[in-house]
Each structure stands twice: as structure tokens, then as C-alpha cells.
Amino acid sequence: GRHPMLHRHMQRLGRDCITHWNGSQVLAFNSPVPGFMRWAGHYPWISFPRPVPADLSANWRIPPFFGPWRQFQNCNWRLDSFMPSSCFHLPNLSMISEGEEPLTKKRRLDDHHGTSTPEEGTNFSNQEEASGLSVAQIEGKHSSKKGPVKRRWEYFCQHSRTMKIFEAKQTDQSNTESEAKFDFTVMSYNILSQNLLEDNSYLYKHCRKHLLIWAYRFPNILQEIKQLDADVLCLQEVQDDHYRTEIKSSLESLGYHCEYKMRTGRKPDGCAICFKTSKFSLISSNPVEFFRRDIPLLDRDNVGLVLLLQPRFHCKTNAVLCIANTHLLYNPRRGDIKLTQLAMLLAEIASVALQKDGTFCPVIICGDFNSIPGSPLYRFIKEGKLNYEGLSIGKVSGQEQSPRGQRILSIPIWPKKLGISQNCVYEVKQQQKEENAGQQEKYNSFLSFLFRLSSKLQHHFKLSSVYSHYFPETGIPEVTTCHSRSAVTVDYIFYSAASNDTDAQPGPVDSFHGGLKLLGRLALLTEKDLWTVNGLPNEKNSSDHLPLLAEFRLIER
């Protein structure tokens, strides 16, 4: 169609007759071109030489030298009736690759419309700076492309002292015949509850609205689960009504058995652990509720789930595996609650994973911990100890940039009546066997005194993280979640490493019966990588988190 701002001579231009001009790109028109024309604001009257036939691609763009005719640059030209009879070249014409949108369409979408006016486009850079977008967001949006970002599998060579990464699977012959091998994969995935998405819509202003409806999102999520084909799924933010009507039946059709724990109170989502019945059988399912009515500190509705599984393979002893899944409190300023919730989860794991001989079976802990790598909470999980004396309550998870003016963690963090010790195990209830009640009372008072003095937390597990959280070549952080407000790592898979695992962390090796060897993982991405596909969620990835996936070998001595 005609554009009202174009010069009347330009409006008569067409596609059949095309004339050469100095330059490298091509433009075609239908109606005959006059022998001369005037380019307003740029060239005087000039004559065109004789037309020369040439081919023309339909993906062309008018160069930005038409002065005030900015809209001409962004209009959509239809060349469906193009006849390759003749052409002329224009200088400095920028060709846009297929699938790439005009610059004005790469700006963040507002709540009501998915397009912007040409006037907005002229101030695009200024608007980006004023909107508070990160550098990675701006660079990623300017290089946006269609299709998902590819994630590669990383397999590890266990022979070297320093772990080496291969994109092709390596054969591992390090085990002796005395060890029984059982390989399996575990996924941790926060699938983004629809209720939470709608309650926090400001986090997803960069997304087109149709991408955020559950009817669009669930097929994508299910397709991811099918493609990755994990033996164990640890899912967070599983909405209760969706679980009952769609998620459970869909996963069962794929060969999974599902265990689910909904959050307490009126929170309609929870955690699920699903495992393939061809690989494991269920020994016990143990839900953990972090809400305690009689303890003011524990007034939040987060939950955890701990399963004890038995692998379906023949070995000399009955090997078992403990799988835990949780979603800790988000609030960055309540590190006291986060640590207490974690201690409750660890106490339940210690109870479930404890074997008859006093050792622990191998443990895998998955979930959204709402804590960043290197934070005190993260270090406590990996190192097995934390001295929190003088620690600000807002620094526990590392989410707060400047937690000034916040109170210090109390000693102890949780009250004794919770029944969990500073070693993150359930306290053994003392039986009133002593005849002298006075001696028993003094003994209990002494225990309470020691409990109040301790500012050191410990746990009995030797845990390693599947991911290293930074790309070794560049030092750029890995990202597990990415939306309008942040792009960080908060999701993890921790595992009890076997004593011969090169990625093992120092810990109580003798307290474990066997262990786990990390064989490989699905590589994570950088923030810039994710913004090339407009962050999360997007057309192919329908959660604001990435799925984490690792392959393990169960070592049974």
C-alpha cells in the first residue's frame, strides 16, 4: 500500500522496472520508474542508467537515509508478485536476516501492546537505558533469534585429578569388579506455578501474553520432560489442580510413579518427586512441612519431600537411594527462616537415609533454594558447617545486595522445642528412667544451656554440587532462572559423592555406605544466552527456570 509520508514520485515506484545505482544491495518495484527523480533531503535530481536484470531476495530493508521518513524504514513491503526483470542498487542498505525483527520490535513489551510506534523507535536506546535493563538484556535483545538456545551434554573423565569435560560420552573403567554399577539420571525443575505467574505478572512483562497461558505452557514443559527422559524428576511449583488433572496422568503415561506434597495453608502448589518404575521401587515417602503453629519463626508454608528408593538391579546387598526435593522461602531478608527450613529438611533426610549399620545411604538433594552460589546457606550445604555468629539475617542467602540495618541472627536460630539439634538431626527424646527427678532436671538444663551457647551448625552429609556455577573458560556465571528482574542461580542438585569421585568435597567419608559418582550433566547457560531468546519464559521454554539434569553412577561396595 501507499505510505502518506512518501514523496509523490516515490509513490509511483513499482517492481517491474529496476535501475542500477552505485551500491551493493538491491531494491525492486512494480510500476515504471521515471527517468529522473529527487531524493528529498539527500540528493539533487539525478538520472539513472539503463536497467540491468538481476535477482532479488525478498528480505531487504530501506536504508536510514530518507531523513524524516522514519516510518518508511520500518514498513513491511510485499514482494509476492515480484518479477525478476530488472533492478537497481542502493548504497549502505542493511540486510536483515530471516527471522530477525526490526529494531523497534525488540524493545520490551508493555502490558497492553506488542508493538511500538516509529517515534518510540527513534528513542530506543535512550528508553532502554532509562528502563533499567541490564547490559546482558540489551545485548541479548539486539541479537535476538528464533528457536531455543541449545544446551550441550557435558561428560566427565574420572581418571584425572582435575575433572575434564567432554561433549561425547567417555567410557569409565575406573570401577573394580567389587563394585556394582547402576547409572541413572536426575532432573530438578521449577515449572512455574500458573497462580504464582499471574500473581507476579510484573516479572514477565517481556513476554508476549499468549506465551504465559497454561494451555500453551504445559505442552512445552511436558515435551522438555519427554526429551530429557530423566529417571527421577524433582519438580517445584507444581500447582495442585494441574497436578491432579494433567501432570500426574501425563507422567504416569511415560512410566513414572509420582509422589506429591502440596504447600500448607492456602498455597495451591507444592513439590513432586516422580521416578520411573522400571528403574526404582518405592520404599518410603516422607513429606516435610516447615510450618509450625506453635513456633512463631516457622509461619511460612514451604514444604519438602524425601523418598527412599531401591534400584531395580541385582547386587550382593540391598542398595538404596535417598532423594529429597524442596522449595525454600523466597524472602531475601528472612535468612533465619531459610536456615531453619533447611535444618528441618536435613534432619528428615538423616532419619530416612540412616542404615542399620549406622551409615547413611547415598543422598541427592534437589530444589529451588532461593540462595545464590557462595552464600552462607550454600556454603553450609557443601561444607557441612556454618558459624553464624554475627551474621546479618539478610546475608544468609546472598540475594540482598546491601542488607544494611538488618538484625543479626539470634543464637540459637530456632527454639529447642523444634526438636532438631545444631547438628541438623532429630534429638533423641530422653526417657524418664532416672529415679531421681532432680538429677534429670539438672541434666536437661545443662543440655539447654549448651544449645543456647552454640552458634555453629553442622550436618553429617558429604555433599557436592553437580554444577560449578561459573564457566571455566570465561568466569561468566551460570544462570538457572531469568526474568525481568533478575538472572541468577538458585536451583541446585547436591549429591553425596563417592570417595573416589574427583569432584568430591571434604567430609565424613566413612559415614556413607558407597556413594555417587557424577558422570555428566546438561550444561547451563549465561544470562546473555537467555536474552537472545527473550529471556524466560519464551516460545520454547515455558518456565522462568531451566531444568537441571545430571547422570550418576551408584557405587555399592
Q: Is the pTM of this model over 0.75?
A: no
What is residue 60's predicted lDDT score, i.e. its pLDDT?
Answer: 47
Band of residue 447 on the pLDDT scale cut at 50, 70, 90: low
Under CATH, domain 179-427+454-556 is a member of which superfamily?
Answer: Endonuclease/exonuclease/phosphatase (3.60.10.10)
Q: What confidence category does residue 28 fall into, taking pLDDT thresholds of 50, 70 and 90?
A: very low
Banded model confidence at residue 138, pLDDT cuts 50, 70, 90: low
Q: Give the pLDDT score at 406.
A: 82
Give DSSP secondary structure letters for 405-425: TPPBPPSSSS-GGG-B-TTSS
More confident residue, 510 or 390: 390
Burial degree of 532 (CB within 10 A; 0-12, 13-18, 19+): buried
Give yes or no for a cis peptide into 537 (omega within 30° of 0). yes
Helices (H) and strands (E) in the chain, counts: 13, 22
Q: How confident is the model at residue 22 (pLDDT cuts 50, 70, 90)?
A: very low
pLDDT digits (tens, 9 = 90+) for 164-182: 555 554 444 444 444 558 9
pLDDT at residue 363, as a whole number: 98
Using alpha carbons, select from 106, 83, 88 the residue that is nearest to residue 96: 106
pLDDT at 556 over 80: no
Q: Is the pLDDT of residue 497 over 80?
A: yes
Query: In the predicted model, what is the mean pLDDT of residues 95-115?
Result: 35
Could you tell me the pLDDT band of residue 157, with boundaries at 50, 70 and 90? low
Distances in Å between the alpha carbon of 546 and those of 220, 450, 485, 536? 13, 43, 16, 9
What is the model's pLDDT at position 176?
Answer: 45
Q: Per residue in 161-184, is it b (16+ CB within 10 Å) or e — as a string?
A: eeeebeeeeeebeeeeeebbebbb
Neighbours of 536 (CB within 10 A): 26
pLDDT at 20 (0 to 100): 43
pLDDT band at 148 (very low <50, low <70, confident <90, very high): confident
Mean pLDDT, range 135-146, rounded to an integer = 57
What DSSP string runs through 356-382? TTS-B--EEEEEE-S--TTSHHHHHHH
